[in-house]
Structure 1
Amino acid sequence: MGSCGCPWSLSQMPGTSYNRAKPRSCQPCWGSRLGFENVVTVDELRMAFPVLDMVDLQRRPKTTPLLRNDFPAIEGVLLLGEPVRWETSLQLIMDVLLSNGNPGTGLATAPYPHLPVLASNMDLLWMAEAKMPRFGHGTFLLCLETIYQKMTGKELRYEGLMGKPSVLTYQYAEDLIRQQAERRGWAAPIRTLYAIGDNPMSDVYGANLFHKYLQMAKRDGAEEQGAGGLWKQRPSATQSCASILVCTGVYSPKGTEPTQPAQGVEEAPFHGHRDFSFSPGLMEASHIVNDVNEAVQLVFHKEGWVL
């Protein structure tokens, strides 16, 4: 989980609580770079309230610490990537949500709606050196959602979901590409975007969802407003987004098709996030190639560029 002046990269940040108290004097962390003030990490929260983290016996306090009353109330939770210590992060994030941002105290009834929760990086799985995929941040979110539902009987709600397959992420990427083209003095508008990825449930799904959004925007004039009304952007000249699936990651041509149910199962498993509906057509790539090199060669061919 990221902290002010922390050494972790964005992909390693499991969750960040934040409040609007006066920022501390420290090096900016990822949370503050994103516009949040006075970011508090799970590790900082654990050190401030050591009795909250009781699973690891070696980290339990030897004596009962004094109760702190100078810790500012937390006003929201930012989740960016899977943590190293899942039990610690799950426990402390739940403490924050159930205590309405005051984890050193206890409430007879958990508040609902709960504090705002923002999450990114929804991939259930990702591919590393192992032969089988590893748990991703989507798996961590699934655990948190299940625990919250079990403890409160209510659904964990998100103020926003960013990252693939959210349309907002592709809008942002499109805007960055457009800015690069302008800096290079390219007058011709970019009509087609190509999205290359290895995960049908996030990369392909997101690219196809954005393509669907572009078609609707062209028909209904919806490009004036970002998806969900979260972000205002200039009218888009992009007409389509092609999804290119590579075989060097989560997807394997030798494996079971993600849109087909396994033998004896009525429906195919959906590895996408709970708040995205299952649509098999959105997980069908426009093109399937062996690796990124072939994907780039395909783009050159489609655009009529001869190397």
Structure 2
Amino acid sequence: ARSSLRNPSRYTPSTISNTFSTQSLPRSPYFLLNMAPHSKQRRFSSSSVVPESMSRFAFAFDIDGVLLRSAAPIPGAPEALAFLYNNNIPFILLTNGGGKHESARVAELSKKLGVPLTEENFVQSHTPFKQLVGGLQDKTIMVTGGDGDKCRQVAEKYGFKNVVTPGDIIMACPAIWPFNQIFSDYYKSATRPLPTPIDHTNPAHSLKIDAVFVFNDPRDWALDTQIILDLLLSKNGVLGTASEKNGDPSLPNNGWQQDGQPQLFFSNPDLFWATSYHMARLGQGGFQASLQGVWDATTNGAALKRTVIGKPHAATYEYAERVLNKYRAQMLGGHGGRVGQLDRVFMVGDNPESDIRGANDFKSAHGTEWTSVLVKTGVYQDGTKPAYKPKVVVNDVLEAVKWALHQQGWKGKAE
């Protein structure tokens, strides 16, 4: 998991809660959870399973620092998921990570964790961007973050038709960033010709960007910062132009972002995340904070209008709850169980500032209680006081599942 920016009110002045809550969920292939017990070394045993007896609660798991640490399974994680899977207890994976398409990520996770997963119970940071395709399908967007142009490929699979990257731009116009030679070999391997040339002398026929999406942690902060800044200062999103409204005190926000500049979207506010290094490393939230600093210096502190999703923001939890309810209805209904109200979701995470804060603050429109469970295998340092207090602190995800089952009066026993 990752650690969020400490002052989200400053860094997230807008949300897309309404956008994400009013449109239908994306469709993807689904298969029922009807396999025989998956692990011969399960740490749980239970009596016969009656699906409707379990229909009142479910789980949401973070991935990094909860299930995996630097791509390797955390001890107990495969057993915990296998138990839930084998006993038809609904769960989703809810992560601020990303950079790959959901289909590739669930295939990778299924192999590592030993439990079949599906896109239907998986939400990563940029998954909700699928619901923005309708308004931007035929527009030109810029996508940044991730390795090579993998995030471009994800955006195209979502349905965006015209997608460019900062690499495309610098290869077409090297002068846009004077230190272009440093990453030139890297960009050559993953760039495409621009759909329209960059020509500031002829704005009507120059490259116009309608929205900027930060899908994943940018690899070249300097280039991405420069190009995003250029677009935020542009006239109508035409790269290489500058709006005459910038700095006009007679206009709202002193004229900044008042002249058709592209919308700016971030998928993840996490400042830090857990890696194989013994100290947490900067994440997408670090890039956002860096861009904010450059924007403040450029505009003398004008507000930076952008939309930020990902944990702990309510829009992400609303989206995740809809995904979970749909998945749960399909799973339990497919087993002949009565699908009643979802009363409780146990959010298991390692990050007090994203996982725990988000679960604590979220107010479900359906009355579902989100209970926060903090594990010690990731960002959170044992012995420190969490910035946001969880319902309980446990050693790892296996212990978290045991605790939750006990809370729900589960009749099985741990071995």
Of the candidates 78, 81, 94, which is equivalent to residue 213 of structure 2?
Answer: 78
Aligned equivalent of 1:181, options 313, 316, 328 = 328
Q: 1:49 offset after TM fit, Å?
A: 2.1
- State which of 155, 161, 178 in structure 1 corresponds to 2:308: 161
Any unmatched runs of 5+ in structure 1?
Answer: 1-7, 61-65, 215-222, 224-235, 260-282
Match in the other structure for 1:257: 385
Match of 2:359 in 1: 207
**Which residue of 296, 301, 307 corresponds with 2:406?**
301
Identical-residue share of aligned pairs (%): 31
Q: Conserved in 1, the CA contact under 8 Å of 2:310 and 2:316?
A: yes
Alpha-carbon offset, residue 95 of structure 1? 1.4
Residues 19 and 75, structure 1, Cα contact 8 Å, conserved in 2: no
Amino acid at match of 2:154: W
Cα deviation, residue 301, structure 1: 1.5
Encode CA deviations 1:12-32: one digit per residue, 9 max, x unaligned.
99xxxx884489xxx972223
Is 1:120 the counterpart of 2:272? The answer is no
2:206/2:239 contact within 8 Å kept: no
Q: Is the 8 A contact 2:359 2:370 kept in 1?
A: yes
Contact persistence 1:19–1:74 (CA under 8 A): no
1:84-95 matches, cutoff 5 A: 84-95=219-230
1:287 maps onto 2:392 in alignment = yes
Separation (CA, whole Å) in 2 of partners of 1:297 and 1:167 = 27
Say if 2:97 is the partner of 1:9: no
Q: Give the superposition deviation at 1:53.
A: 2.0
Query: Quick one: structure 1 residues 94 and 129, their matched pair in 2 at CA, closer, same or farther if it must change by over 3 Å?
Result: same
Alignment CA distance shift 1:22-1:93 (3 Å): closer
- What runs of 5+ residues in structure 2 fail to find an aligned partner? 1-98, 102-123, 127-135, 142-149, 185-196, 247-255
- Change in CA separation of 1:180 and 1:52 when aligned onto 2, cut-off 3 Å: same
* Paired residues of 1:49 and 1:104 also in contact (CA < 8 A): no
Equivalent-residue separation in structure 1 for 2:377 and 2:208 (angstroms): 45
Tell me, in whole angstroms, the C-alpha distance in 2 between the residues paired with 1:120 and 1:252: 25
For each residue in 1:52-102, what CA deviation from the matched residue of structure 2 results, as whole angstroms up to 9, or x when unmatched?
122244468xxxxx9646543111211122111111111111112112422
Q: Secondary structure at the match of 1:249?
A: coil
Give the direction of change, closer, same or farther, for the CA distance of 1:136–1:130 in structure 2 (3 Å limit). same
Distance 1:188 1:199 in 2: 31
Per mean C-alpha deviation after superposition, the further-off stretch among 288-297 and 41-50 is 41-50
Partner Cα distance (1:67, 1:180) in 2: 45
1:145 counterpart letter in structure 2: Q
Residues 104 and 59 (structure 1), Cα distance of their counterparts in 2 relative to 1, 3 Å cut: farther
CA distance in 2, matches of 1:109, 1:20: 27
- Alignment partners' CA distance in 2, 1:191 and 1:33: 34
Q: Residue in 2 aligned with 1:53?
A: 177
> Which residue number corresponds to residue 172 of structure 1?
319
Count of matched residue pairs: 240
* Structure 1 residue 102 corresponds to structure 2 residue 238: yes
Contact 2:348 2:355 in 1 (8 A): yes
CA distance in 2, matches of 1:293, 1:57: 48
Determine if contact 1:80/1:119 at 8 Å carries over to the other structure.
yes
* Kept in 2: contact 1:97–1:115 (CA 8 A): yes
Q: 1:58 to 1:200 in 2, by over 3 A?
A: closer
SS, match of residue 245 in structure 1 = strand
Match of 1:31 in 2: 155
Native 8 Å contact 2:311 2:358 kept in 1:
yes
Give the SS at the match of 1:204. Answer: helix
Instruction: Give distance in 2, aligned partners of 1:122 and 1:90.
Output: 16
The residue number in structure 2 matching 1:148 is: 295
From the superposition, tell whether residues 35 and 138 of structure 1 become closer, same or farther in structure 2 (CA, over 3 Å).
same
Q: Does 1:245 align with 2:336?
A: no
1:209: Cα distance to partner?
0.9
Aligned match of 2:286: 139
Asked if 2 retains the 8 angstrom alpha-carbon contact of 1:124 and 1:139, the reply is yes
SS in 1 for 2:404: helix
The Cα shift of 1:189 comes to 1.9
Task: Confirm whether residue 193 of structure 1 aligns to residue 193 of structure 2.
Answer: no
The whole-number CA distance in structure 2 between the counterparts of 1:143 and 1:202 is 19
